[in-house]
Structure 1
Amino acid sequence: MTTASASDALALTASSFLRENLEHAQRACITSSFQAEDVAVLHMVLQHQPQIPVIFLETGYHFPETLAYRDRIAAEWNLNLVNVEAEQSVAEQESQFGILNQTAPDRCCGLRKVEPLFRALGAYTTWVTGLRRQQSKSRANLQPHEFFTLPTGKILAKLSPLTEWTTRDVWQYAEQHSIPLLPLYEQGYTSIGCAPCTSLPFDENDPRSGRWSGRKLECGIHLQAH
């Protein structure tokens, strides 16, 4: 099988998976950081549910390039964009707790990403993500269809159709469909989150090695409540 046909087969499988699982989903949403895999899966999802809510975590710490790109894609694709914010503004949080992304990054992620997202997800029954196993060793056991329990006890169907995709697969899909990607990739970034906690990768074999200065692997939004 040629590279192109293999890529087409992956895309067909992922799209079929989405169609089957979204067809009877009562209230579905998709989260997007507007990184390459998130935009690729969003492109697929829109073919089945053009007005699906697209949840973006507006932490107040994003790169200007990320926000500009989000707005560009939202306009060009006519997205039903839902910007989810923390209860406190950045200024209020820093006034009360100091610069948590420097002193306690887990706490900062909890306040600005995890808690706001889990509140927002309470309105849905199905959650689509762009997660891939290759992204991190913490995602090595990721399954395309999982059940995710929120702190309230509510259980969501969590769909990750790109589970087995490589970075190359994602970029090939974007190229084949003429999807522009976040310009920060051109500067050498391989995993992009909030600006204070994102740097160029220091391990070429670990695309997430530039996140949180290597102090942790996950912000917490994909970790089950216990």
Structure 2
Amino acid sequence: MADLDSGVTGSGLPNALQSVVSHSELKALLTAPKDVQRAELERINRFLAGLTAQERVLWGLAYLPGNHALSSSFGIQAAVMLHMVSQVQSDIPVILTDTGYLFPETYQFIDQLTERLSLNLKVYQAPMTSAWQEARFGKLWEQGLDGLERYNRLNKVEPMQRALAELEVGTWFAGLRRSQSSTREELPILAIHGTRFKLLPIIEWSNKDVHLYLTQFDLPYHPLWDQGYVSVGDTHSSKPLELGMTEEETRFNGLKRECGLHYEI
């Protein structure tokens, strides 16, 4: 086991919690051959599987290299990760990609959580406004799968890429969960995406786990939860869950589940 080395300060880790890999070894892993990365990530993920979500956050902030950032869509369950991470590192940048088409309730939720949790919010948008995009391209979300993918690249993928680059993020925290969709079922706790690590502390959590955490810390669901929404994105591509629908079918008219933000970066 490797204790915290000189590259880590202010970890807040309990003395009993040690790592199977050091900060410097993790930094070197980013440039290691792919086969070495795969083997090491398998070993590290076995270790992380034995930790709680809160312990994974502590471990990630202590050991994973580079600047840290948390992305959030301020969706239904967003308060969980925003609270869990900001309670340990209060000034961690929270990246929001604002498409210009979020629900009014989402903007209100952003204001509410930013004030309550004293979040270090960083908002990124496409260089072209939503009105200009509609004038130039029409309503891309009504133009089938190709239109949706173009819309998502313009409004979500590119702004997130820019955010990660400008903030020089070496470790990206996110609140994805395997139960949210079939595309997320095989996601590991820790992965390498290009030149940075990506940590998903609550990846195996169920809806019940989310509810228990929100209840324990008196945290709110997104306001649209009470109107039947189980997933919230843009106004034009989100709808409430109805009888016979899966969660995946409530987004993008059922054409796709992912906007690409977590898969093209």
TM-score by length of 2: 0.76
| Contact 1:148–1:224 (8 Å) recurs in 2 | no
SS at match of 1:23: helix
Cα distance in structure 1, aligned partners of 2:155 and 2:139? 13
The answer to whether the aligner puts 1:146 opposite 2:188 as a matched pair is no
The answer to whether the aligner puts 1:110 opposite 2:153 as a matched pair is yes
Residue in structure 1 matching 2:123, options 83, 90, 111: 83
Gaps of 5+ in 2: 1-48
1:100 maps to which residue? 140
Gaps of 5+ in 1: 1-9, 150-154
Q: Deviations over 1:8-62 (max 9, x none)?
A: xx9x711111111111443000001112433201211112210000011110000
Cα distance in structure 2, aligned partners of 1:168 and 1:191? 15
Q: Give, in angstroms, the shift of residue 202 of structure 1.
A: 4.3
Q: Give, in angstroms, the shift of residue 98 of structure 1.
A: 0.8
Q: Deviations over 1:75-124 (max 9, x none)?
A: 11111001111010011111111111211111111100011101111220
SS at match of 1:37: coil
The answer to whether the aligner puts 1:120 opposite 2:159 as a matched pair is no
Alpha carbon RMSD of aligned pairs, Å?
1.6
SS at match of 1:158: strand
Residue in structure 2 matching 1:20, options 52, 56, 59: 59
Alignment of 1:1-226 (within 5 A): 13-24=52-63, 25-103=65-143, 104-122=147-165, 123-149=168-194, 155-202=195-242, 204=244, 206-224=246-264
**Which amino acid is the alignment partner of residue 112 of structure 1?**
N
**Which amino acid is the alignment partner of residue 95 of structure 1?**
A
Query: What percentage of residue pairs aligned between the two structures are identical?
Result: 37
Cα distance in structure 2, aligned partners of 1:34 and 1:175? 18
2:27 maps to which residue? none
| Contact 1:203–1:209 (8 Å) recurs in 2 | no
Q: Give, in angstroms, the shift of residue 129 of structure 1.
A: 0.4
Cα distance in structure 1, aligned partners of 2:205 and 2:262? 18
**Which amino acid is the alignment partner of residue 22 of structure 1?**
L
2:45 maps to which residue? none
Q: Give, in angstroms, the shift of residue 181 of structure 1.
A: 1.5
Cα distance in structure 2, aligned partners of 1:224 and 1:77? 30
**Which amino acid is the alignment partner of residue 126 of structure 1?**
T
**Which amino acid is the alignment partner of residue 156 of structure 1?**
R
Q: Deviations over 1:130-154 (max 9, x none)?
A: 00000000001011101112xxxxx
TM-score by length of 1: 0.88
Count of aligned residue pairs for this structure pair: 210
Cα distance in structure 2, aligned partners of 1:217 and 1:79? 28
**Which amino acid is the alignment partner of residue 45 of structure 1?**
V
Cα distance in structure 1, aligned partners of 2:246 and 2:107? 25
2:11 maps to which residue? none
